[in-house]
């Protein structure tokens, strides 16, 4: 090292600071004739080891309507990627090129596909690739292509040991990440990892009972394990959901789950459900509770219940409450539901005096 007049150390002449010089020069050539980008990156067209490749420019047609202005680096990388793809070159340099292409656009499906071809052809370490894709997903967790790439790697490795913990880390960042939930469902189903999933779901619901993705996962797990045909399982789920509803009455996710597990069995046929909801109404009223009651009464009417006129009147009264007080933004919908119920189930619909809900 040498010192300047103020005593600061400077690099030796034989080792010029490439990055510093390049930054000062922008995209201009260095003194020894090698063009570099401002961060010291050497374009592929200027690399001696790529001299044998003729880059293939992107073909936007003779009259592109809205032509994208790519950076010089982007054009360079993808021109050379198209060239190696066209030649189907299975080489280490082509593999490294896919890494540069992914860094510029991790959503390019073709690059990921060719990278997988190279992984197999070059017999690359798949666990090293798994670490690579882990870092990218952590940076871009809502990218379809990166999750698909991870799934293929796990399939090839036949090893799911890292997956549930990794997905849980991603869900800690965003508990409603669709891609993470989709991957989790595939892993659980593919490798039969059902045992502790319901416990995991319950923990997430304790953290956020409104998370519709977790309610969906609960339905997925039970549907693929015990099912809902066992009366004990169904009763457990009904009571669990009602407890969650008591905590947050205006939580639509829980109401959707309750309706989802009962509607094929008949909402009005489940023992004691109507009575439990009526008991909740004074202290835990919400648009969702009242709408559920309308659904129960409609189901009773469809099944030719006794006291049909009384049941219809209860349903119409609730539709009016929803339209005028509890769900005003959808008042036209509830007016329509009221008219439909009346038209379908009133024996003297033509003689009936219009209700207040119809007149307004």
DSSP 122: T
Quick one: which of 357, 325, 327 has its CA closest to 341? 357
Q: Render 89-118 in DSSP notation, one character per residue.
A: --SHHHHHHHHHHHHH-TT-HHHHHHHHHH
Q: State the Cα–Cα distance between residues 139 and 116, nearest whole angstrom.
A: 20
CB-side neighbour CA atoms (13 Å) of 10: 10
**For this structure, is 142 an active site residue?**
yes
DSSP 323: I
Catalytic choice (142, 176, 246, 269): 142
Report the run of H or E that residue 235 belongs to, with start and end: helix 231-247
Handedness of CA 259, 263, 264, 267 (dihedral sign): positive
Q: Helix (H, G, I), strand (E, B), or coil: what is residue 2?
A: strand
- Residue 136 Cα distances to 87, 110, 150, 246, angstroms: 28, 17, 10, 41
* 154 within 8 A of 183, measured Cβ to Cβ: no
Active site residues: 142
């Amino acid at each position: 090292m040498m010192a300047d007049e103020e005593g600061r150390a400077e690099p030796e002449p034989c080792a010029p600071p490439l990055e510093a010089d390049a930054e000062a020069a922008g995209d201009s050539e260095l003194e020894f004739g090698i063009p570099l980008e401002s961060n010291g990156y050497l374009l592929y067209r200027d690399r001696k080891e790529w001299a044998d490749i003729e880059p293939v420019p992107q073909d936007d047609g003779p009259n592109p309507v809205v032509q994208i202005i790519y950076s010089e680096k982007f054009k360079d990388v993808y021109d050379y990627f198209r060239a190696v793809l066209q030649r189907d070159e299975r080489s280490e340099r082509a593999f490294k090129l896919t890494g540069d292409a992914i860094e510029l656009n991790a959503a390019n499906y073709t690059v990921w596909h060719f990278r997988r071809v190279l992984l197999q052809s070059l017999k690359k370490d798949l666990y090293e690739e798994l670490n690579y894709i882990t870092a990218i997903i952590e940076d871009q967790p809502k990218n379809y292509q990166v999750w698909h790439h991870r799934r293929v790697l796990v399939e090839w490795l036949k090893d799911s040991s890292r997956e549930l913990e990794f997905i849980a880390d991603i869900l800690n960042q965003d508990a409603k990440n669709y891609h993470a939930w989709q991957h989790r469902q595939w892993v659980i189903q593919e490798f039969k990892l059902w045992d502790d999933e319901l416990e995991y779901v319950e923990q997430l619901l304790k953290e956020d009972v409104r998370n519709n993705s977790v309610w969906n996962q609960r339905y997925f797990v039970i549907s693929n394990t015990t099912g809902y045909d066992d009366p004990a399982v169904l009763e457990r789920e009904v009571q669990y959901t009602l407890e969650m509803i008591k905590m947050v009455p205006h939580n639509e996710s829980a109401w959707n789950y309750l309706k989802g597990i009962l509607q094929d069995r008949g909402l009005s046929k489940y023992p004691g459900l109507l009575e439990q909801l009526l008991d909740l109404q004074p202290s835990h009223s919400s648009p969702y509770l009242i709408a559920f009651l309308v659904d129960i009464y409609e189901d009773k009417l469809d099944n030719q219940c006794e006291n049909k006129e009384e049941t219809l009147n209860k349903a119409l009264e609730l539709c009016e409450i929803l339209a005028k007080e509890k769900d005003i933004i959808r008042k036209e919908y509830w007016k329509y539901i009221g008219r439909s119920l009346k038209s379908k189930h009133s024996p003297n619909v033509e003689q009936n005096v219009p209700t207040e809900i119809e007149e307004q």
